[in-house]
């Protein structure tokens, strides 16, 4: 497969990855960025999976900064989830995975959709927001304890968007993508929303997997971005210019003594250094976005297969970074 973009970064990432998988990667250090790709055009947009939750966390805190919501705002104030216990959940509890909600909404033939993903590479999502809200109206949250919930972030993102008065996809575009010049960001609700440079991911056996699109899914795992977009995101997270930057600050423990969480963003210690990060996975992609704020360094790696990007991404993050090109000149 051909290597594109910054040669040194492409070669180093290729050396660390096994299996010859296609990838896009961005690396930022000291305010300077490099991007590279293997097996796909450099301008390709790829699925970032649950890194989308990190963007939703930024949008939540941006709305807080604007006085539109608070962490104590009730879910039922902005989404029609009925008058049951779910309506009383706070946005803050959703943002830190402490709402008591399950990983996915009940019903909807989840097991059947999962089987179709595994056997045929189909998209297990695709619901509209209206369809999702019908499924959760009678849901009773469990005990408020750390419990990772895709459903919680779906509802959180759409609640913030409703409070602002915009659909979620437009909220991403106007309050995050446009201010940071992330021109390749897409939030497709259907396959028709994919573009000419949208890349298809693959299973571990090399089978093409359908794109994970869906209006309901978007805030938890439905955003696509290019390597250049990811470089700009990293730069803004590192210099503090990203809207809602306080989302990165840990406020609670997620699981075990070593993992803390802000609004989606996780903070852990690796080799004595504090790393802020989120990873993601869809049917055909694996992703990692991480920054070391003290070192002024960040890495985003998206692998176009469902093999983990975590180890390679963290290795690229902790290595010394050669001089790249100014982010502002890209």
**Residue-level pLDDT at 330:** 35
CATH 3.40.710.10 fits 3-329, yes or no: yes
Beta strand pairing call for 325-326 and 32-38:
antiparallel
Domain ranges of the chain: 3-329
* Residues with pLDDT less than 50, the chain: 322-330
**Residue-level pLDDT at 96:** 98
DSSP 224-293: EE-HHHHHHHHHHHHHT-STTGGGGS--EE-SSTT-EESSS-EEEEETTEEEEEEEEE-SS-EEEEEEET
**Residue-level pLDDT at 244:** 98
**Residue-level pLDDT at 108:** 59
**Residue-level pLDDT at 320:** 77
**Residue-level pLDDT at 49:** 98
Q: For residue 66, what is the DSSP state? A: T
**Residue-level pLDDT at 120:** 59
Distance CA 152, CA 307 (A): 25
The enclosing H or E element of 162 equals helix 150-164
**Residue-level pLDDT at 327:** 38
Distance CA 321, CA 297 (A): 8
**Residue-level pLDDT at 118:** 60
Distance CA 263, CA 157 (A): 11
If one counts every other C-beta atom within 10 angstroms of the C-beta of residue 69, the result is: 22
Distance CA 213, CA 207 (A): 18
Do residues 283 and 306 touch, judged by C-beta distance below 8 A?
yes
Collect all residues with Cβ–Cβ distance below 8 Å to 284 and sequence separation of at least 6.
47, 121, 200, 201, 202, 203, 208, 209, 210, 211, 304, 305, 306
């Amino acid at each position: 497969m051909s290597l594109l973009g910054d040669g040194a970064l492409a070669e180093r990432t290729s050396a660390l990855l096994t299996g010859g998988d296609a990838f896009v990667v961005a690396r930022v250090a000291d305010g300077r960025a490099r991007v590279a790709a293997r097996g796909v055009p450099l301008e390709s947009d790829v699925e970032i999976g649950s890194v989308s939750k990190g963007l939703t966390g930024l949008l939540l805190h941006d709305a807080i900064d604007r006085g539109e919501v608070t962490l104590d705002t009730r879910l039922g104030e902005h989404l029609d989830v009925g008058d049951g216990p779910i309506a009383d959940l706070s946005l803050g509890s959703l943002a830190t995975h402490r709402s008591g909600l399950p990983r996915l909404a009940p019903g909807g033939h989840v097991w059947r959709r999962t089987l179709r993903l595994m056997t045929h590479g189909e998209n297990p999502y695709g619901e509209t927001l209206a369809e999702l809200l019908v499924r959760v109206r009678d849901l009773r949250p469990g005990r408020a304890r750390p419990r990772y919930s895709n459903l919680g972030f779906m509802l959180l993102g759409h609640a913030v968007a409703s409070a602002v008065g915009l659909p979620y996809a437009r909220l991403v575009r106007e309050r995050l993508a446009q201010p940071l010049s992330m021109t390749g960001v897409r939030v497709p609700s259907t396959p028709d929303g994919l573009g000419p440079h949208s890349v298809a991911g693959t299973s571990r056996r090399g089978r093409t997997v359908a794109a994970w699109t869906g209006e309901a899914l978007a805030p938890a795992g439905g955003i696509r971005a290019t390597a250049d977009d990811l470089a700009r995101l990293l730069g803004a997270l590192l210099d503090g210019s990203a809207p809602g930057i306080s989302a990165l600050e840990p406020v609670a423990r997620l699981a075990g003594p070593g993992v803390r969480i802000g609004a989606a963003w996780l903070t852990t210690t690796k080799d004595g250094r504090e790393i802020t990060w989120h990873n993601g996975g869809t049917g055909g992609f694996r992703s990692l976005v991480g920054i070391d704020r003290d070192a002024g360094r960040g890495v985003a790696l998206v692998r176009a297969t469902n093999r983990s990007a975590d180890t390679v991404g963290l290795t690229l993050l902790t290595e010394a970074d050669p001089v790249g090109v100014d982010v502002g000149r890209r």
